[in-house]
Structure 1
Amino acid sequence: MSIGNRIADLRTNNHMSQFQLAKVLGIGTSTLGMYETNKRKPSPKVLNKIADYFDVSTDYLLGRKSKADQVHNATVDEALGTIMSFEGQPVTEHDKKVMKDLLESYLRNKE
């Protein structure tokens, strides 16, 4: 998959128009269109902006790594902070504290 295809996939998977992404990146819509059709390559500065915006690596955009290869080392607090509900029920701050304590205890005591 080319860099242009990866950019287009990220944009469409995030339900964004070319206009919206171009505005975020500070470039013209036609420039973004040329990136997506592989008629132009983004500068390193724009490449970094795209990677930062979509939380992917520049290596992924350049085809050096698959998205599945990326590792996000979230702390327990960061991971639990993203949980809003479980099986349709809201997760309270108390629930998150209990989950954190259980997870930390499990990780400390495994083998």
Structure 2
Amino acid sequence: MRVIAGKWKPLILYFLAQDGPTRYGELRRAIRDVSDKVLIQQLKELEADGLVKRTDYKEVPPRVDYSLTPLGHSLAMALVPLCTWGTEHMAEVSRVFAERATWTRPGRQPTV
């Protein structure tokens, strides 16, 4: 679980599994709400864990792409059933999240 801990790592693995080698800008557009700082950090962690390969073509202008290693690809395939479950239960999960948003923390007044 520590290898995929983080809000964006499963999505990074998903998009790299779908699209093959992907340039940073494409990945950034695919994962819309992530900041550059966090995306770079998470890519570095995935690379350090042996799940993602970073290829620097040493060109001007710089060209770098990211792809899954065999280990990363096997992890991405292990996440497919989880994604399937999420898709199949999206309505119920959305309802639970909406209900949870109405909860208040102890000592706080409910918002109207």
Using the size of structure 1 for normalisation, the TM-score is 0.34
More strand as a share of residues: 2
Q: Which has the higher contact order (CA 8 A, sep 6+)?
A: 2
Tell which structure's C-alpha radius of gyration is larger.
1
